[in-house]
Each structure stands twice: as C-alpha cells, then as structure tokens.
Amino acid sequence: MEFTKGKAKVHIFDADEDLSVSLAKYTAAMSEKFVQERGAFSVVLSGGYLIKYMNKLVEPPYVDSVDWAKWHVFWLDERVVPKDHEDSNYKLAYDGFLSKVPIPPSQIYAINDALSAEGAADDYEACLKESVKNKVVDLSATTGFPKFNLMLLGMGPDGHVASLFPRHPLVHEKKRWVTFIKDSPKPPPERITFTFPVINSSAYIALVVVGAAEAGPVHRALSNDSESSDMLPVQMVSPEGETTWFLDKEAGSKL
C-alpha cells in the first residue's frame, strides 16, 4: 500500500522481504542521483533493525549498480562503547552491511571510542565540520547546518529517533550539530547523537519502522497533530526535503 500523508510518502508492506527490496531500490536510486549531481553520496545510518532491512543492498542487482566508492557513511547516533562491543551501532552496520561492500575505509566515519561521551560528541562534530569544509557534506543555505543527502532513521516504541528521547532536554537543542547524553532511558546510558537541526536539514529522510509496538507513535507522527506540547521526537522530524516511511503492516496498522 502506498499513499501520501501531508508532506510524507508512506509505504506499507505485508512482508519483510518486500520492505527490504523497496528500501534497497530507494537507497540505490538516491545514491545514483547524488553521485551524478555532486560526485559523492553522504548517507547517515542509525542502528537497531534498520540494518537488517538494508540487506538487499548487498545482493544483485543493487550491489552491482551502486557506486560504492562515492559513498560517505556517518552515524546518526552511537553508543559510547568500543567499536567491537555488541551494543555498537558501528559494529552492527559493519558486520551486517558495510563489510560486504567496497566503500573506502576512510569514508566510513565512526566515532572515536577512546573518548568520553562529551569528547566523542565534540570530536564527531569536528569531523562533520571538516566534511563540510571538504565538500563531502553540503551546508544548508537555509539553516546553516550540514545537509546530508539521505538519512536512514529507525524509531523506538516510545517514539524516539536517534538518541533523542521523549521529554529529554536534548530534543530542544538548537545550536550543536552533535551532542551527548549520559542518562539515556534505554541502555547503554552514554551516547552521542545528531541534533534535530541537523536531522531536519537533510535533503531526504527514510523512516523504517516495524512492529505493532510502534503503531501508536507512527499514527501520531502522521496525524499532522503538531499542536501538542508533549510531542514525540518522531513528530519533530521535518526535513527540508522529502520524508518517506517504510512500514510493515503492524507498524502501519493504525493508519
């Protein structure tokens, strides 16, 4: 099922296989578009089940059609743990996806896991600023924040995105590109995360959401009810460009 809800495109799939194929096709098309337009593709990954649904990208025909040498991969948020730790989003993405495609290692931007949460956030923000300086990542003329070509987001059953949780002060951060959290309600407690000004400066955002527990937040996010003073973080996702939702039938059951 496909339909438009406000400014968002919504796709609901009966089978995981169909969702994975559609996401691969979409991501490959975004890669081709930006490689042709600017010679590079800046893509942001989150953790969780998103990586599982990207598995079709490493299979034909997509794996052979993508210009992997032009990819620059960043992390939306990261747990402050060693890169080989089971909680690491880097490890999840590397083992499940990145190790199977020929992206130059220098174009995969992991956090410095030797630093504290605060230090890692400062270091990653410096990395983003260097990437903007080197034209790897565009700068939004509207907001002055980095404008990634594509962000691939997941969502938790509480409506959180990145490591921006409901009713946490960080959802209102307006100046930083990358910040840190030491009291995450979801373990592990120490993380770094992109802020909403960076998320919402994106050219394109894909939200991949599966499971019945996510149906309520999905409904709230797509109901166009932004008047509530108690908005979920997912309701605050509003990019400069286009948002596309990839939902399984459980997550989309209340639409």
122-131: average pLDDT:
98
Q: Is 136 a member of any domain?
A: yes
pLDDT tens profile 18-66:
999 999 999 999 999 999 999 999 999 999 899 999 999 999 999 999 9
Separation between Cα atoms, residue 25 and residue 184, nearest integer Å:
34
b/e burial code for range 83-119 (CB count within 10 A of at least 16 → b): eeeeebbbbbbbeebbeeeebeeebbbbbebeeebee
In percent, the amount of the chain with pLDDT more than 70 equals 98
132-160: average pLDDT:
96
Looking at residue 245, what DSSP letter applies? E
pLDDT of residue 114: 97
Q: Is 187 a member of any domain?
A: yes
Q: Which long-range contacts (CB under 8 A, 24 or more apart) does 231-235 make?
A: 232/158, 232/159, 232/160, 232/166, 233/159, 233/160, 233/161, 233/162, 233/164, 233/165, 233/166, 233/171, 234/155, 234/159, 234/160, 234/161, 234/207, 235/159
Reading the block at residue 108, the tokens are 């995969």
User: CB under 8 Å to 44, separation ≥6 — which residues?
Assistant: 73, 74, 75, 76, 148, 150, 151, 152, 194, 202
Residue keyed to tokens 């299979």: 59
Q: Is 11 a member of any domain?
A: yes
| Parent domain of 8 | 2-224+231-248
Single-letter code of the amino acid located at 107: Q
8 Å CB contact between 222 and 8: yes
The sign of the torsion formed by the CA atoms of 104, 57, 205, 94 equals negative
Q: Is 254 a member of any domain?
A: no
Separation between Cα atoms, residue 68 and residue 195, nearest integer Å:
27
pLDDT tens profile 74-126:
999 999 999 999 999 999 999 999 999 999 999 999 999 999 999 999 999 99
Separation between Cα atoms, residue 93 and residue 116, nearest integer Å:
22
132-157: average pLDDT:
96
Q: Is 255 a member of any domain?
A: no
pLDDT of residue 78: 97
Phi and psi angles of residue 244, each rounded to the nearest 5 degrees, phi first: -125, 130
Q: What is the CATH number for 139?
A: 3.40.50.1360
Q: Which of 203, 191, 137, 138 is nearest to 161 (CA)?
A: 191
pLDDT of residue 240: 84
Q: Is 253 a member of any domain?
A: no
169-173: average pLDDT:
95
Helix ranges, 12-164 (H):
16-38, 62-65, 89-96, 117-133
**pLDDT class for 228, splitting at 50, 70, 90?**
low
pLDDT of residue 87: 95
Q: Is 51 a member of any domain?
A: yes
Q: Which of 139, 166, 159, 148 is nearest to 219 (CA)?
A: 159
**3-state SS assignment for residue 119:** helix
Q: What is the pTM of this model?
A: 0.96
Number of domains, the chain: 1
